């Protein structure tokens, strides 16, 4: 007989449930252990299958070697294929960059600029109408074009064109500069030193450069080929010229240009003078013409100016972290080269500024260190020389030519490239100031880099040449023709007013 007890039954059921839970947990733990073991074995196997970097490189090299041609014919075919692909890409890039330049000017407000523009756009082949076709590999890349302009592009010396160097001492502070003259056939050195018979083009170099750089000599030769007299301007302490004052050139001081123009104006009996500035000197030329135009003291012989790659607004703090240290190295190198002249000043503060400048890493730090001892000039007549800026910001503000460009009183061309990696952004930011002057014409190209403009003209598949040289000399030619026209229309011709070449200075020469 079976006797059932409810309480005993409950205990048995609870025991069964507990056993079931224990069995389930054991199965779960076993499953986890199995999974972990499987994962471990998988990782172990995979780690064993990993290829060591050296073995991977060897394996890749062997695969590549198997794919490479085994015969000279195969290599030629591969080389032809790669060359064809590269050339196709380069031609497409050249095509995308080939277009006419943009021109900004107040044609309705300036008869002289309107006449210049019309003469430079007469035919579809005119420089301001035809497309600018950059040369392959060089002109299509801003950095390559700029490098070619700086390091190459200089024409070979030719016996057809006479050359000589003239050293000029400037009355303001006793500084010396050098003019590297190049003469067209029929003009002698004696004529240039006494009475210049033909138009003169003065070409000025940029920062850390001199008149023997490719872009300067190329422009000089382009001018002499047109029959003009041209000279490359070496600023104080540049081009192998010893520094005769304890202060070098900078981006704000226009006294050196002023002194040279005054001395040349005494020799130019009826012939015009044109100024061409590049990069830093483009700002100096613009600033000089603006200062003289503001005061109405520009010599009558100055027919016009051209500024290539003009920064317009100078502030070294905004310069690229790549180019700022490089430019700083260049100016520090100039200090070391001219140390014998700089150490003439024994003042502790002067020497401390030099010391801080030599320790500067960027161009902004260098400018800030040197600003208190830099030479500068008053912006109004008689443009007296002074020494020192409050700080770097004060120096950059004074050096920025956009403040004075609206006072330029002669025809002027500002040439800029939209891929100029040094100055285009600064130029675009001050474009309105340039356009405010009806005497200024702005020409903007799609390519060219900084002073590059390496072009292969249509139907010309040679090594290319500078489009800027052609555009600038074309502009100069029209300006010279306009100058001669005004001269012939005025009874007795143009009278050149001679100003006193010795301008007053507010500090002794020994302190300048």
| Residue-level pLDDT at 454 | 85
Mean pLDDT, range 141-157, rounded to an integer: 79
Mean pLDDT, range 230-259, rounded to an integer: 92
* pLDDT of residue 14 exceeding 80: no
Q: Please choose, from the candidates 284, 334, 332, 326, the residue with its C-alpha nearest in 3D space to the C-alpha of residue 305.
A: 284
Mean pLDDT, range 266-289, rounded to an integer: 94
pLDDT over 70, % of the chain: 80
* pLDDT of residue 484 exceeding 70: yes
Strand 440-445 vs strand 102-104: parallel, antiparallel, or unpaired? Answer: antiparallel
CA gap 281, 218 in Å, rounded: 16
| Residue-level pLDDT at 19 | 52
CA gap 297, 407 in Å, rounded: 12
Instruction: Give Cα 21 distance to the centre of its chain.
Output: 82
- Is pLDDT larger for residue 311 or for residue 48? 311
* pLDDT of residue 223 exceeding 90: yes
Residue showing tokens 């702005």: 442
CA gap 505, 392 in Å, rounded: 23
Q: Where is mean pLDDT largest: 2-6, 93-97, 503-507?
A: 93-97
Lowest mean pLDDT among 49-53, 143-147, 394-398: 49-53
Domain architecture of the chain: domains with CATH: 103-315+398-511 (3.40.50.1820)
* pLDDT of residue 512 exceeding 50: no
Tokens of 470: 């052609």
CA gap 417, 473 in Å, rounded: 18
* pLDDT of residue 64 exceeding 60: no
HEC assignment per residue over 273-330: EEEEEECHHHHHHHHHHHHHHHHCCCCCCEEEEEEECCCCCCCHHHCCCCHHHHHHHH
CA gap 394, 187 in Å, rounded: 45
Mean pLDDT, range 97-112, rounded to an integer: 90
Mean confidence (pLDDT) of the chain:
82
Q: CB neighbours of 452 closer than 8 A, spacing ≥ 6?
A: 139, 142, 144, 145, 146, 148, 149, 417
How many residues make up the chain in this entry? 512
CA gap 472, 276 in Å, rounded: 9
pLDDT tens-place string over residues 381-435: 999 999 999 999 999 999 999 999 999 999 999 999 999 989 998 898 899 999 9
pLDDT tens-place string over residues 341-369: 777 788 889 999 999 999 999 999 999 99
CA gap 75, 373 in Å, rounded: 63
Instruction: Give Cα 168 distance to the centre of its chain.
Output: 28
Instruction: State how far the alpha carbon of 31 is from the alpha carbons of 25, 27, 83, 102, in Å.
Output: 10, 6, 62, 76
């Amino acid at each position: 007989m079976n006797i059932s007890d409810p309480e005993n039954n409950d205990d048995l059921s609870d025991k069964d449930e507990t056993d079931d839970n224990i069995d389930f947990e054991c199965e779960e733990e076993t499953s986890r252990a199995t999974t972990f073991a499987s994962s471990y074995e998988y990782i172990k196997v995979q780690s064993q299958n990993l290829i060591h970097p050296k073995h991977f490189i060897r394996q890749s090299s062997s695969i590549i070697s198997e794919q490479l041609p085994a015969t000279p014919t195969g290599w030629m075919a591969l080389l032809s294929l790669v060359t064809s692909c590269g050339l196709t890409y380069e031609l497409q890039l050249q095509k995308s960059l080939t277009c006419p330049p943009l021109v900004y000017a107040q044609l309705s407000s300036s008869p002289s600029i309107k006449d210049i523009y019309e003469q430079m756009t007469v035919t579809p082949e005119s420089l301001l109408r035809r497309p600018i076709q950059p040369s392959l590999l060089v002109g299509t890349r801003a950095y390559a074009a700029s490098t070619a302009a700086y390091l190459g592009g200089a024409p070979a010396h030719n016996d057809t064109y006479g050359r000589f160097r003239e050293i000029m001492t400037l009355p303001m502070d006793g500084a010396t500069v050098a003019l590297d003259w190049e003469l067209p056939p029929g003009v002698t050195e004696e004529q240039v030193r006494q009475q210049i018979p033909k138009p003169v083009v003065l070409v000025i170099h940029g920062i850390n450069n001199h008149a023997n750089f490719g872009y300067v000599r190329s422009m000089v030769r382009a001018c002499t080929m047109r029959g003009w007299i041209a000279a490359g301007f070496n600023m104080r302490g540049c081009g192998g010229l010893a520094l005769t004052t304890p202060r070098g050139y900078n981006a704000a001081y226009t006294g050196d240009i002023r002194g040279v123009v005054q001395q040349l104006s005494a020799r130019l009996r009826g012939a015009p003078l044109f100024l061409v500035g590049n990069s830093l000197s483009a700002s100096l030329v613009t600033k000089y013409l603006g200062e003289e135009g503001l005061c109405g003291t520009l010599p009558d012989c100055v027919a016009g100016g051209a500024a290539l790659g003009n920064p317009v607004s100078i502030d070294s703090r905004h310069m690229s972290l790549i180019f700022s240290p490089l430019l700083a190295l260049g100016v520090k190198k100039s200090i070391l080269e001219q140390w014998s002249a700089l150490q003439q000043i024994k003042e502790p503060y002067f020497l401390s500024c030099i010391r801080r400048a030599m320790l500067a890493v960027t161009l902004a730090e260098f400018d800030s260190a040197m600003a208190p001892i830099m030479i500068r000039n008053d912006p109004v007549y008689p443009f007296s020389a002074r020494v020192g800026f409050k700080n770097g910001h004060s120096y950059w503000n004074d050096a920025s030519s956009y403040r004075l460009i609206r006072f330029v009183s002669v025809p002027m061309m500002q040439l800029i490239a939209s891929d100029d990696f040094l100055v285009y952004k600064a130029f675009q930011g001050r474009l309105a100031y340039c356009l405010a002057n009806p005497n200024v014409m702005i020409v903007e190209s799609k390519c060219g880099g900084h002073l590059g403009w390496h072009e292969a003209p249509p139907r010309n598949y040679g090594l290319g040449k500078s489009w800027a040289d052609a555009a600038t000399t074309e502009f100069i030619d029209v300006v010279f023709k306009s100058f001669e026209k005004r001269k012939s229309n005025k009874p007795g011709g143009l009278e050149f007013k001679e100003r006193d070449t010795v301008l007053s200075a507010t500090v002794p020469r020994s302190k300048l």
